[in-house]
């Protein structure tokens, strides 16, 4: 199982701070650096810059919402980023949430499974061959694109429900999860995804599981901080469904918190259920916890 770092600087830091965060992850030996697309910097633009400055680590988005961007345009952007990053881009995409797409952006969130199926059909063909001819109910694309110096890129989907996992297994390279605990990964996410990939004749998919992690001497304080920091994810319907499957009252219940030995044991256990990559969302509350959490993650490399 590979160990990657989910960065937070892209939401509020300067470009220099983001590059420094990614460089530190690379220098520490982590396999991947993941950046979200929320309400800060445009993540793909940032990763193009990071790709030129930080030469070795895999660079991933976690995740780019699909609805605001036509899949052809997103493919062109990713091929351009991949040229800057020498082929190290992994594109993570997701639906986002109805409240964001409809209330904030004024777009339709209608039939999300159909949307993702058509979106992936176009996107993955362009990602691998730079050409596509497809006419769907929502999306169509008949085009060859040419991005000099680029390479194919992989696509993973923030798939949670059964239908989305089946579409992902059939069409994408894997999934990237958040707020999905180990019991749900083992009983729901991974078997559903693998079964769909097998039926489609595809290789075993990548499973990138991101969870909050903190090495601490004060478990209660860390859990209280997790409950506050990640509270919104317990309220969004798609994540709430995953927490309910886990039997978790909120995100704090799936946070990996404790001593270095306890944290490492819980992370290592994810490998046994089929997780291929762990994405550490570090949330130390003071410099000692920050350093101890990073040291524990490095010990797993």
Check if the beta carbon of residue 251 is closer than 8 Å to that of residue 226.
yes
Tell me which fold the domain 159-301 belongs to: TIM Barrel (3.20.20)
Q: Angle at Cα 185 formed by Cα 179 and Cα 189, nearest 5°?
A: 100
- Each residue's pLDDT tens digit, 67-112: 999 999 999 999 999 999 999 999 999 999 888 898 988 988 899 9
Measured CA to CA in angstroms, residue 91 lies from 55, 132, 178, 208, 285 at distances of 18, 18, 16, 12, 30
Domain ranges of the chain: 159-301
pLDDT value at residue 182: 98
Q: What tokens were used for 158?
A: 């923030």
pLDDT value at residue 104: 86
Per-residue b or e along 198-229, where b marks 16 or more CB atoms closer than 10 Å to that residue's CB? eeeebeebbbbbbbbbbbbeeeeebbebbbeb
Mean pLDDT rounded to a whole number for the chain: 97
Check if the beta carbon of residue 301 is closer than 8 Å to that of residue 29.
yes
Give me the helix-helix angle, 43-53 and 15-27, nearest 10°.
60
- Write the CB contacts of 234 (distance below 8 Å, at least 6 apart in sequence): 179, 240, 243, 249, 250, 251
The pLDDT profile of the chain, 301 residues, written as one tens digit per residue, is 999 999 999 999 999 999 999 999 999 999 999 999 999 999 999 999 999 999 999 999 999 999 999 999 999 999 999 999 999 999 999 999 888 898 988 988 899 999 999 999 999 999 999 999 999 999 999 999 999 999 999 999 999 999 999 999 999 999 999 999 999 999 999 999 999 999 999 999 999 999 999 999 999 999 999 999 999 999 999 999 999 999 999 999 999 999 999 999 999 999 999 999 999 999 999 999 999 999 999 999 9
Q: What is the DSSP letter of 281?
A: E
């Amino acid at each position: 199982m590979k160990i990657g770092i989910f960065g937070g600087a892209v939401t509020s830091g300067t470009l220099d701070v983001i590059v420094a965060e990614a460089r530190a992850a690379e220098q520490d030996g982590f396999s991947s650096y993941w950046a979200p697309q929320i309400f800060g910097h445009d993540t793909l633009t940032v990763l193009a810059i990071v790709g030129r400055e930080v030469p070795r680590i895999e660079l991933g988005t976690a995740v780019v919402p699909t609805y605001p961007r036509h899949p052809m345009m997103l493919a062109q952007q990713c091929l351009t980023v991949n040229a800057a990053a020498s082929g190290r881009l992994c594109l993570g995409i997701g639906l986002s949430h109805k409240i964001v797409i409809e209330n904030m952006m004024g777009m339709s969130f209608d039939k999300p499974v159909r949307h993702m199926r058509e979106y992936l059909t176009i996107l993955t063909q362009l990602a691998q061959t730079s050409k596509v001819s497809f006419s769907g109910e929502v999306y169509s694309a008949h085009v060859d694109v040419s991005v000099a110096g680029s390479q194919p890129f992989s696509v993973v989907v923030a798939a949670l429900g059964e239908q989305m996992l089946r579409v992902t297994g059939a069409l994408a390279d894997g999934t990237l999860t958040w707020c999905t605990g180990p019991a749900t990964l083992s009983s729901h996410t991974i078997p559903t995804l693998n079964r769909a990939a097998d039926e489609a004749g595809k290789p075993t998919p990548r499973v990138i599981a991101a969870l909050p992690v903190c090495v601490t001497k004060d478990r209660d304080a860390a859990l209280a901080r997790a409950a506050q920091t990640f509270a919104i994810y317990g309220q969004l319907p798609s994540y709430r469904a995953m927490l309910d499957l886990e039997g978790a009252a909120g995100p704090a219940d799936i946070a990996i918190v404790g001593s270095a030995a306890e944290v490492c044991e819980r992370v290592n256990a994810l490998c046994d259920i089929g997780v291929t990559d762990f994405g550490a969302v570090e949330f130390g509350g003071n410099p000692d916890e920050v350093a101890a959490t990073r040291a524990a993650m490095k010990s797993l490399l």
